[in-house]
Chains A and B, each alone.
Chain A
Amino acid sequence: MEKKSIDQLKKICSQVRRDCLRMVHAVQSGHPGAALGLTEYFVALYFQEMEHNSNFNMDGQGEDLFFLSNGHVSALWYSVLARTGYFSTEELKTFRKISSRLQGHPATEEGLPGVRIASGSLGQGLSVAIGAAQTKKLNRDNHLVYVMMGDGEQQEGQVWEAAMYAAHHKVDNLIAAIDYNGQQIDGPTEKVMDLKNLRAKYEAFGWDVVEIRNGNEMEEVLKGLEKAKSLTGKGKPVMILLYTEMGYGVDFMVGTHKWHGVAPNDEQLENALGQLKETLGDY
């Protein structure tokens, strides 16, 4: 993939945020908060850092793979997949509607290009990604496997089963990331169920940990991903703690859990789009 300038990537982020808001608005359901917070990371991965093929093949041999464990960020993933050519941006109009491939949470059943596993029930994606990474090793395929999780998702026990396993089996072709926005449905994570020191926890489990302190700053995200890549192949799985702000880019949505699963109304959409002027052309 040709290298893009920071400005180009930022422009793409603006468009992707517009897509997310319009998709959620059109069907008056979905999860805008985390989608807006993770936009820089997804754009950095799909437009710059990952070696991937939009001519989709389920087995994905000879390319990097991405798994989304916190499936409710689906609008963001669909926008990025469409805008990297996995399917037409026109299809974004069908998000969450009847007979669509763009299910509320990602699914493989209708063969949506780019999606390799269903997700939404939290805690499962890390295990799946580790399995895929081990198959890459068996196939002598030197590409990487990426997986995205939520921070609230760290409360699921299966995540820690997987964390223990990946270190024990030296799954070092894996870059996991946690969307560290400190928010979950019932409130701030530290009130709902405090995660305490995630860095210390993953290090104690035997992982290398990279922190991206501002996950909504493109330069920092790119630098963090390069750092994470440089740590692969050294006998340990790699975890990125990605500090983001939920709802980033829209002033009335930022920094609160209130927009986790709520759609903007007409007026709010207009206001939000007014704050995201850069566009590559809405679908």
Chain B
Amino acid sequence: MEKILDLKYTYTEKKDTRSGFGDGLLEAGRNNPNVVGLCADLIGSLKMGAFQKEFPERFFQTGIAEANMIGLAAGMTIGGKIPFTGTFANFSTGRVYDQIRQSIAYSEKNVKICASHAGLTLGEDGATHQILEDVGMMKMLPNMTVIVPCDYNQTKAATLALVDHHGPAYLRFGRPNWPIFTPSDQKFEIGKAIKMIEGKDVSIFATGHLVWEAVVAEAMLREEGISAEVINIHTIKPLDEAAILESVGKTGCAVSAEEHQVNGGLGDSIAQVLVRNMPSPLEYIGVNDSFGESGTPTQLLEKYGLNAENIVKAAKKAISRK
């Protein structure tokens, strides 16, 4: 399918977004001596090995004890360190919600909670590990910034941007090899959405791995004579409301696309903006109040309705509701 489509973005390489984090962290460590890393027995999975090797004194193995890791990180900020914690998204959020809430968010600590293996694309490990509620939990916390980059390059850029951003932040990324379609020299501006493709009939607001699916969907829609605008919402909080309103002001309808529950996700945030300012049809691509299961990433995105074909259907439905 992708081969015959006239895609606005192409790629020569696929890589996991977690590697973008690992490489970004290493560079951040070289740039700033205050950057420290903590990991709860998942150094390989989080790609934190290079940082650990180069900065052993600034790396802290916590063992399988995530609550303690969150508290340690909060404490390490006192005296000027910039801690990056690493574990799976499930153990980075739901397991330690109260620790994040009290010791980091309410206490306004400069901790970067870095979470891999988020969403369905974790794949074969199944629903216990495929967290689909993390963005909702994190965006509800006052003081928390929530970032979900779309590919290797953007994850690396986001990791580096977080060093200079003061305050609690949640960075979500994943495990599968995924097209690298954004530039390696991009400037990552927290809270500033990126217009990937200009269009006039429908706005597709996508985040994380689904930005690529949105790029594919745009080409499919174009073949049918529909002009879609694709916007990469890499920062879910603070949300770039101006970019959303500017786009929907032009297209008149929208689709949100994310690897997360519809309840509490990016789509909900966009709906709030539209309802308050510019009531417009909005269709949601996301998981509909269910847990995931084992399977390959591609199979799972298809079964749960999160791929390009489903974005195309949602876009047509949104247009029909104008």
Report which A residues bind B (CB closer than 8 A).
Answer: 58-61, 65, 67, 107-109, 116-121, 123-136, 138-139, 141, 157-158, 161-162, 164-165, 168-169
- Name the one of A135, A141, A161 contacting B76, with C-beta atoms under 8 angstroms: A135
- Name the one of B79, B98, B103 contacting A117, with C-beta atoms under 8 angstroms: B103
Q: Is B2 an interface residue (CB 8 A)?
A: no
Q: Is the CB of B79 within 8 A of A141?
A: yes
Residue of A nearest to B78 (CB): A132
Residue of A nearest to B40 (CB): A161
Q: A138-B36, A158-B99, A161-B65 are in contact. Are A59 and B79 (CB under 8 A)?
A: yes
Q: Is the CB of B79 within 8 A of A130?
A: no
5 extra A-B contacts, CB within 8 A, seeds A109-B106, A128-B74, A138-B81: A118-B102, A128-B72, A138-B57, A157-B67, A164-B63
Our count of residue pairs bridging A and B at CB distance below 8 angstroms stands at 120
- Name the one of A125, A135, A164 contacting B78, with C-beta atoms under 8 angstroms: A135
Please name all residues of chain B whose beta carbon is closer than 8 Å to the beta carbon of A61 when the two chains form the complex.
Answer: 79-80
B60 to chain A, nearest CB (A): 7
Q: Is the CB of A165 within 8 A of B102?
A: no
Q: Is the CB of A134 within 8 A of B60?
A: yes
Chain B positions 95 through 107: 1 when the CB is less than 8 Å from some CB of chain A, otherwise 0: 0001101110011
Residue of A nearest to B71 (CB): A127
Q: Is the CB of A131 within 8 A of B65?
A: no
Residue of B nearest to A115 (CB): B107
Interface size on B, residues (CB 8 A): 32
Complex CA distance for A168 and B76, rounded to whole angstroms: 17
Q: A118-B102, A131-B74, A158-B99 are in contact. Are A60 and B79 (CB under 8 A)?
A: yes
Q: Is B299 an interface residue (CB 8 A)?
A: no
Q: Is the CB of B108 within 8 A of A161?
A: no
Q: Is the CB of B68 within 8 A of A118?
A: no
Residue of B nearest to A169 (CB): B60
Q: Is the CB of B79 within 8 A of A135?
A: yes
Q: A118-B102, A127-B75 are in contact. Are A138 and B68 (CB under 8 A)?
A: no
Complex CA distance for A83 and B101, rounded to whole angstroms: 30
Please name all residues of chain A whose beta carbon is closer than 8 Å to the beta carbon of B36 when the two chains form the complex.
Answer: 138
B45-77 at interface with A (beta carbon < 8 Å)? 57-58, 60, 62-63, 65, 67-77
Please name all residues of chain A whose beta carbon is closer than 8 Å to the beta carbon of B75 when the two chains form the complex.
Answer: 67, 117, 127-135
Please name all residues of chain B whose beta carbon is closer than 8 Å to the beta carbon of A135 when the two chains form the complex.
Answer: 75-81
Q: Is the CB of A165 within 8 A of B68?
A: yes
Residue of A nearest to B142 (CB): A109
Q: Is the CB of A165 within 8 A of B72?
A: yes
Q: A117-B74, A131-B76, A135-B78 are in contact. Are A124 and B99 (CB under 8 A)?
A: yes
Residue of B nearest to A157 (CB): B67
Q: Is the CB of A164 within 8 A of B72?
A: no
Complex CA distance for A164 and B40, rounded to whole angstroms: 13
